[in-house]
Copies of this chain bind each other. A is one copy, B any other.
Amino acid sequence: MPPSDDAGLTRPEGQAGNQALDRFRQVRARTLDLARPLSAEDQAVQSMPDASPTKWHLAHTTWFFETFILRPLAPGYRVFDERYGYLFNSYYEAVGARQPRPLRGLITRPGLDEVLAYRARIDQHMELLLESGETPELLELGLAHEEQHQELILMDILHLFAQSALSPAYRPAPAAAVGAPPGEAGWVEFAGGLVEIGHAGSGFCFDNEGPRHKVWLEPYRLADRLVTNGDWLAFIEDGGYRRPEFWLSEGWAQVQAEGWGAPLYWRETEGGWREMTLHGLRPVDPAAPVAHVSYFEAEAFAAWAGRRLPTEAEWEHAAQGPVQGRFLDASPAGRLTPAPVSGRGAGLRQMYGELWQWTRSAYSPYPGFRPAAGAVGEYNGKFMVGQMVLRGGACVTPPGHLRASYRNFFYPHQRWMFSGLRLADDGA
């Protein structure tokens, strides 16, 4: 089980307790906590085909446990509602037909109350199962899956609220000391050579993180911090979005077709650049990492800066310390935007949390990769084309969710996720 960040979850009895049950309850509760600030209306609407309603996330994660654990394993379990399989299956072809993804926002029935009842009922059955001491094989997958959807809830709500003329805040802004300028980025050197990447050890990981395998790396270096809004403003002011020489061909086509001129949630106002965040519309903080940029933009920025993005192997090889960083703060007053780098350390900073970091690596199977048998084999493998890998997690990623070997992936034009970048370069 990944390291837990939440205190006080040990059993009152003091004995070993039932760790699986505790973790199940903790994860499931966090999802409800995240939904709590939202009205039934907020939770029902879909703002674009890539995003899903919160209510759908609530039901889909529940359906995952019902379908892959309760149905096969819970003796005598009766399905809650046969029609939910159609409504809340995401993309598992092996499990049957489903609501077309772009139409998830049409699901006004079942209502939020019924979906909450569905969650309660499945939780009851799952807890019964877990109390028996059994730890189903797919339990940890179901929990990691739910954690991914927790992050999606926040991504998707931000996207929805960003479409609103009212620019509502999901959560009040924390007392936001604007960051001090971080100064020039430093560089950390790596000798490369024949290294190993991919998940090691016996803990849980997604199938796409393995097998662990050798990779040859040339000497390289990584910037010791993420690219900031201040850096990005310099790029904009130097014509970054108007000069094709920095852009991949597809990226430039996108810039022109969509009229891109800044990161997804930036708006130019009379009072300067502002940014839509989960705390509402806020002034852009030059010291904070730039967020919601696409791979195309990240590539163009790197070209403008005369550098490049790291490969995922370079990133992972460099990230061999404890997984520490600013992940999702589920408390009602927590900050949900990336924060300026603090202090001036001796090495890489902001490697985990804050923002997912684009790599220049296409999302491909590792040598020897085989998807699992059955429906869960569709979890990751079938998306291994056309997307790029991001590493490190973000300020909306649940704590304990990440690993050094963790591979996130998105299409190069997408930008509604909490994505940023760190520069790299060839070594000496």
- Which of A94, A360, A362 counts the most chain B CB atoms within 10 A? A362
Is A340 part of the binding interface, using a Cβ–Cβ cutoff of 8 Å? no
A362-390: CB near B (< 8 Å → 1, else 0) gives 10110110000000001000111110100
Asked whether A148 is an interface residue with its Cβ less than 8 Å from the other chain, the reply is no
Residues of A239-280 whose CB lies within 8 A of B: 244-245, 247-252
> Which of A9-17, A25-33, A160-168, A178-186 lies at the binding interface?
A160-168
Segment of A35-43, A121-129, A227-235 in the binding face: A35-43
Bound CA–CA A72/B103 (angstroms):
42
**Residues A87 and B244 in contact, CB atoms below 8 Å apart:** no
Q: Are A166 and B215 in contact (CB under 8 A)?
A: no
Verify A384–B252 contact, CB threshold 8 A: no
Q: Are B41 and A163 closer than 8 Å at their CB atoms? A: no
Q: Which of A105-113, A130-138, A320-328 contacts B (4 or more CB under 8 A)?
A: A105-113
Q: How far is the CA of A250 from the CA of B250 in the complex (A)?
A: 18
A19 touches B (CB below 8 Å): no
A109: chain B residues at CB < 8 Å are 39, 41-42, 161, 164, 166, 168
Interface string of A95-108 (1 = CB under 8 A from B): 00001000101111
Cβ-closest chain B residue relative to A211: B218
Distance, CA A134 to CA B413, complexed state (A): 45
Chain B residues with CB below 8 A from A43, complex form: 41
Query: How many angstroms between the C-alpha atoms of A383 and B244 in the bound complex?
Result: 13
Interface residue ranges of A55-103 to B (CB < 8 Å): 55, 83, 86-87, 91, 93-94, 99, 103
Q: Is the CB of A39 within 8 A of B40?
A: yes
Interfacial residues, chain A to chain B (CB-CB below 8 A)? 39-45, 47, 55, 83, 86-87, 91, 93-94, 99, 103, 105-112, 160-161, 163-166, 168, 194, 213-218, 244-245, 247-252, 295-296, 299, 360-362, 364-365, 367-368, 378, 382-386, 388, 412, 426
